[in-house]
Chains A and B, each alone.
Chain A
Amino acid sequence: MSIAEKMASYEDMVGPGITACLGCNVELSMRTALQILGPNTIVAVPPGCMGGVQSVGWADKTGMKIPVFFPLLDNTASMLTGIKKYYERIGRDVNAVAFAGDGASLDAGFQALSGAAERGDNIIYICYDNEGYMNTGFQRSSSTSLGSWTSTTPVGTKSHGKTSHKKDMPLIMAAHGIPYMATASPAYMPDLIKKIEKAKNVKNGLAYIHIYNSCATGWGYESEKSIDIVRKGVQSRFMPIYEFENGKYKLNIDVKNPISLKDYLYSMKKYKHVSEEQIAQLQEYVDEKWDNLKKLCDTSE
């Protein structure tokens, strides 16, 4: 069965007509993930774009066909823990799933997520990383990359975008020693789908999936380029696609001949001002991360 046939056989758990921007690949990721997770799922969508686009609903209408709730920005993981613990107690196997932005995961919700990972709570946590707080108007998050323009790291005569690098969340989550961690991209759907399937089968702790998503509206590019952009992100080694399973790292998409980072950066408005110096700093960061990841994968074999 082709991947298209397989996906067509699964019901879409998200209702039609939610109000994400044209070409939003976060919405695509959410629909895909929930299709695979299926009806036996309770999903938490914290404040952020995916809550904002009315996946949870409006007034007495819901945007989902499965139980869904708005956690707080900062307690997604712990609310899911409570739900999961009760279902475990009464002997029912239910998927307790988060679909949360980088702000709700790396910043405000980090403590709750780290606590749930450390305790081994059996929840599935999917973070969509669009490198900023998009729903509130693209403010910086700890996942915003160096040099990026955001509404709180603006470009002016004295400042040139964000001054620090992106927080390496996938590695931090893997370092918790959770049973499964993976990064994914909507540009590589078969890989993303396989990873959601793996996360669904984890029964002995927290499964974390970090999806690199772009944002046409915030990042500044034509909406039809959404998939191109995240593919460029992967192909420039900026968004490495790998997994951490049972203590071992594995590179899933080996980028042997990366495209130039400049090509990736200059394809959007948020980086249009970056200097040669900033590009060099970013290149150094990307190379170091990539080498480190290669080493982790090599020693895991």
Chain B
Amino acid sequence: MKNIKVLDGNHAAAIGAILSKPDVVAAYPITPQTPLVQHFSQYVADGVMDSTIVEPESEHSAMSVLTGASLAGARTFTATSSQGLALMYEPYFRASTMRLPIVMNIVNREMISPQSVWGGPQDSLTVRDAGWIQIYVEDNQEILDMTIQAFKIAENNDVLLPINICYDGFYLSHMTEGVEVPLQEEVNAFLPPYKPTHVKLDPETPMAVDPLTPGNYLQYYRELHMAAMDNAKRVIKEVNDEFAKKFGRDYFGLVEPYRMEDAEYVLVTLGSLTGSARIAVDLAREKGVKCGLIKIRSLRPFPVDEVNEFLKNAKAIGVIDRNVSFGWHTGIVYQEIKSAISSLDPIPTVPFIGGLGGEDLTTNLMVEALDSVIKAGENKQLENRAHWLINRKGR
């Protein structure tokens, strides 16, 4: 019998983490991630969770505690949002360059100013080049499943990189859905205990971690780090396939296609806004327009080959960004897509920005976006300034 529970996104993440049996967890509360920290405390108080919990005095220390624990050989987990991630930047960057397979969920929230506690992946997208793997997910089931998969991806010997599972604040963190919770035995069989093979601080095998390092060595480390990112593409797919076989839920690895068989007009999405984009695609399909969408799941490593494969026959593409790249007139995902397809013949690609600070990206707005994409395709119009997707009401 299926074990279905009604869970919000944070609770799903907490359960995913607990099922993965981390040795050490350290997390500092920040909206909209806070309930996740509370769930941990309660699970420990109730004796359900057998992890060592550290309650640090800041996010900077949360990441530092996990860096230390991971260097000692522990499986580690944390989660944060927005300003918390910003405060962590120094140890965040270092966790990846030390190749420590720390798992951290990011509950995406806008960066201030102005004050905002609501959703938007500006926080994690801004640090996309800090060397972490970043996976963006769409619903609460995917949060739980990917939190488990995250440990298996990060700890793979060909990867050994920290990983973020990113999900939209409030849209997912506080929304409840039916979520199938795997049994502990099933997860045990999928994810064995962690046996570190990387650098380790242990008096029995003394070594120095991070001595002063000249540029020629450092370049070599960066080269290896980039190669590990490449390996991660394969591992993400392998872990996805094994998970699909064992648990019956397939997320297609790096990119998830929707109605792409013969699609000419394609929307590109990230995260939970994919839902309303799917409906816009369905509505257009009903009218006989060949539309589809691709959901980018892995932003780092970026699935260049897959994106090219999906988009090579497109007549026009629209990229929906819930973030901005200051100094460009587009969002960040748009630039990623444009770079990825730069070797194809120019395809009209329309950048869209909307849904900032928790604003709704409604089906109507998605229909509006798709209409613009179809028009750009028909006119063979090349654009590089974002169309704002705005709810006219109340502005």
- Docked CA distance A111–B61 (Å): 9
- Docked CA distance A87–B91 (Å): 21
Checking B24, B90, B202 against A85 with a beta-carbon cut-off of 8 angstroms, the contacting residue is: B24
B61 to A58, Cβ gap below 8 A?
Answer: no
Nearest Cβ on chain A to B67's Cβ, whole angstroms: 6
**Chain B residues near A58 (CB-CB < 8 A):** 211-212
**Chain B residues near A72 (CB-CB < 8 A):** 64, 90-91, 94
B64 to A64, Cβ gap below 8 A?
Answer: no
From A70, which residue of chain B is reached at the shortest CB distance? B210
Given known A-B contacts A82-B70, A86-B72, A59 and B213 have beta carbons under 8 A apart: yes
**Chain A residues near B62 (CB-CB < 8 A):** 78
Q: B217 at the A/B interface (Cβ < 8 Å)?
A: yes
From B52-60, B132-140, B259-267, B300-308, give the one contacting chain A.
B52-60
**Chain B residues near A112 (CB-CB < 8 A):** 57-58, 60-61, 64
- Docked CA distance A42–B199 (Å): 14
**Chain A residues near B71 (CB-CB < 8 A):** 69, 79, 82-83
B64 to A71, Cβ gap below 8 A?
Answer: yes
B52 to A59, Cβ gap below 8 A?
Answer: no
Q: B23 at the A/B interface (Cβ < 8 Å)?
A: yes
B69 to A82, Cβ gap below 8 A?
Answer: yes
From A79, which residue of chain B is reached at the shortest CB distance? B68
> A29-43: which residues lie under 8 A (CB-CB) from chain B?
39-42
The secondary structure that dominates the A interface is mixed
A67 to B201, Cβ gap below 8 A?
Answer: yes
A56 to B208, Cβ gap below 8 A?
Answer: yes
What 0/1 pattern do residues 68 to 80 of A give for CB contact below 8 A with B?
A: 1111101100111
A57 to B211, Cβ gap below 8 A?
Answer: yes
**Chain A residues near B209 (CB-CB < 8 A):** 56, 67-70
Checking B91, B202, B206, B212 against A75 with a beta-carbon cut-off of 8 angstroms, the contacting residue is: B91
A82 to B208, Cβ gap below 8 A?
Answer: no
Q: A118 at the A/B interface (Cβ < 8 Å)?
A: yes
From B98, which residue of chain A is reached at the shortest CB distance? A69
From A115, which residue of chain B is reached at the shortest CB distance? B57
Q: B74 at the A/B interface (Cβ < 8 Å)?
A: yes
B206 to A89, Cβ gap below 8 A?
Answer: no
A83 to B55, Cβ gap below 8 A?
Answer: no
Q: B207 at the A/B interface (Cβ < 8 Å)?
A: yes
What 0/1 pattern do residues 12 to 33 of B give for CB contact below 8 A with A?
A: 0000000000011010000000
A89 to B68, Cβ gap below 8 A?
Answer: no
B74 to A86, Cβ gap below 8 A?
Answer: yes
From A61, which residue of chain B is reached at the shortest CB distance? B211
- Docked CA distance A178–B58 (Å): 20
- Docked CA distance A115–B54 (Å): 11
A65 to B69, Cβ gap below 8 A?
Answer: no
- Docked CA distance A204–B395 (Å): 59
Nearest Cβ on chain B to A238's Cβ, whole angstroms: 32
Given known A-B contacts A56-B210, A82-B24, A86-B23, A119 and B64 have beta carbons under 8 A apart: no
Q: A139 at the A/B interface (Cβ < 8 Å)?
A: no
- Docked CA distance A118–B61 (Å): 13
**Chain B residues near A185 (CB-CB < 8 A):** none
B68 to A80, Cβ gap below 8 A?
Answer: yes
- Docked CA distance A75–B61 (Å): 6
- Among B207, B209, B214, chain A packs the most CB atoms within 10 A around the CB of B209
From A121, which residue of chain B is reached at the shortest CB distance? B54
- Docked CA distance A51–B23 (Å): 30
- Docked CA distance A63–B76 (Å): 29
From A66, which residue of chain B is reached at the shortest CB distance? B206
**Chain B residues near A40 (CB-CB < 8 A):** 203
Nearest Cβ on chain A to B186's Cβ, whole angstroms: 25
Nearest Cβ on chain A to B112's Cβ, whole angstroms: 21
Given known A-B contacts A54-B211, A58-B211, A88-B52, A79 and B57 have beta carbons under 8 A apart: no
From B55, which residue of chain A is reached at the shortest CB distance? A119
Checking A62, A80, A89 against B52 with a beta-carbon cut-off of 8 angstroms, the contacting residue is: A89
From B203, which residue of chain A is reached at the shortest CB distance? A40
> B175-211: which residues lie under 8 A (CB-CB) from chain A?
201-203, 205-211
Q: A25 at the A/B interface (Cβ < 8 Å)?
A: no
B52 to A87, Cβ gap below 8 A?
Answer: no
A59 to B201, Cβ gap below 8 A?
Answer: no
From A89, which residue of chain B is reached at the shortest CB distance? B52
- Docked CA distance A291–B60 (Å): 38
B26 to A56, Cβ gap below 8 A?
Answer: no
Q: B73 at the A/B interface (Cβ < 8 Å)?
A: yes
Checking B26, B55, B57, B76 against A111 with a beta-carbon cut-off of 8 angstroms, the contacting residue is: B57
Q: B66 at the A/B interface (Cβ < 8 Å)?
A: yes
Q: A60 at the A/B interface (Cβ < 8 Å)?
A: yes
B211 to A62, Cβ gap below 8 A?
Answer: yes
Q: A22 at the A/B interface (Cβ < 8 Å)?
A: no
4 residue pairs, one from A and one from B, having the closest CB atoms? A82-B68, A57-B211, A115-B57, A62-B208
Interface residues of B (CB under 8 A from A): 23-24, 26, 52, 54-58, 60-62, 64-74, 76, 90-91, 94, 201-203, 205-214, 217
Beyond A58-B212, A86-B52, 17 additional pairs, beta carbon < 8 A: A42-B201, A56-B210, A56-B212, A62-B211, A65-B206, A70-B209, A72-B91, A75-B61, A75-B67, A78-B56, A82-B54, A82-B66, A82-B67, A85-B69, A86-B23, A86-B69, A119-B54
What are 7 pairs between A and B in contact, CB < 8 Å?
A39-B206, A59-B211, A59-B214, A67-B201, A69-B71, A86-B52, A88-B52
